[in-house]
Amino acid sequence: MIVFEKPKVLTDKPLHYCPGCTHGIVHRLVAQAIEELSIEGKTIGVVPVGCSVMAYDYFKTDMVEASHGRAPAVATGLRRALPDRVIFTYQGDGDLASIGTAETVHAAARNENITVIFINNAIYGMTGGQMAPTSLPGQVTQTSPYGRDVKQCGYPVKICEMLAQLEGPAYLERVAVNNVKHVLAAKKAIRHAFENQLAGKGFSLIEVLSSCPTNWGMTPEKALDWIEEKMIPYYPLGVFKDRDKEAVQ
């Protein structure tokens, strides 16, 4: 009896991610949502520049590789050209919260009917571990070797909290993938973000607190603990905006 299978929406190409990286988990959650909602044939994914740049090889849906930070603008073009299709972006913190901040904010402000999967692992992974817009105060990286000094380079960007100030977005939730309970909650959130799009509700963003054992210089297990002990206190989990709930209130 098969109790667990790789989602059919993922290709057989071996993932290039480092051991212990949680991109694999999030890819699976996205693929499961697409499979459960039977939307593989009508979905187009937009991938970023960063560690998940080659995610176009991992999903069986049609895929577009965007330039750094511009995935929400590319997704906007696809959205306007293909009104009955499902469009998602998959972006890291450097892509979405630094170089692409403007595209992120304005796609949210327009309430573009897209689903954004935002991987926050507090570091630039692909380029070898530089300080990200989401690196924690005091966090040591290649470009903050003495720890992130907030006096010199400011404070981390809290995307969900920031976007929640806008009238535009339909749904904003922050989840984590550091333990089974959190992974199950993340799965539900990601599926919900796709359901919102199918219902035409608009911009849904799921921020996923993720690990980068390689560039954090930790074992995979220790990295998961770091999410729990350091990241979650700074980036609290939960729903930051849900227009459905607002309408009820």
Partner 1 sequence: MSEKVLMKGNEAIAEAAIMAGCRHYFGYPITPQTEIAAYMAKRMPQIGGCFLQAESEIAAINMVYGVSSAGYRVMTSSSSPGIALKSEGLSYLAGADLPALVVNVQRGGPGLGGIQPSQSDYFQATKAGGHGDFRMIVLAPASVQEMANLTLCGFALADQYRMTAMILADGTMGQMMEPVSFEQPPLQEVEKPWAVRGTENMRPHNIINSLYLVPEELERKNVERFARYAEIEKKEARCEEYHVEDADIIVVGFGIAARVAKSAVDAARAQGIRVGLIRPITLWPFPKEALYRAATHAKRFISVELSMGQMVEDISLAIHCKAPVDLCFRTGGMIPSPEQVLNSITDAKTKIDTERTPC
By CB under 8 A, name the binding residues for partner 1: 40-44, 46, 53-54, 56-57, 59-67, 70, 73-82, 85-86, 102-103, 105-106
DSSP H/E element including 182: helix 180-198
Residue 124 or 226 with smaller CB distance to partner 1: 124
The closest alpha carbon to 10, from 65, 58, 64, 61, belongs to 58
Instruction: Report residue 173 as tokens.
Output: 């939730």
CA atoms within 13 A on the CB side of 134: 32
Residue 38 or 152 with smaller CB distance to partner 1: 38
Q: How far apart are the C-alpha atoms of 169 and 202, rounded to whole Å?
A: 7
Q: What is the DSSP letter of 179?
A: S
Residue 12 or 246 with smaller CB distance to partner 1: 12
Residue 98 or 144 with smaller CB distance to partner 1: 98
Residue 85 or 188 with smaller CB distance to partner 1: 85
Q: How far is the CB of 112 from partner 1 (least distance, A)?
A: 10
185-204 b/e (C-beta count within 10 Å ≥ 16 → b): bbbebbbbbbbbbeeebbbb
Q: Concatenate the DSSP letters of all residues of 59-121 into one string.
A: BSSEEEEPPTT-HHHHHHHHHHH-TTSEEEEEEEHHIIIIITHHHHHHHHHTT-S-EEEEEE-
How crowded is residue 88: how many other Cβ atoms within 10 Å of its Cβ? Answer: 27
Q: How far is the CB of 47 from partner 1 (least distance, A)?
A: 9
Q: How long a stretch of residues is the chain?
A: 249
Residue 13 or 245 with smaller CB distance to partner 1: 13
Residue 30 or 44 with smaller CB distance to partner 1: 44
DSSP H/E element including 33: helix 23-36
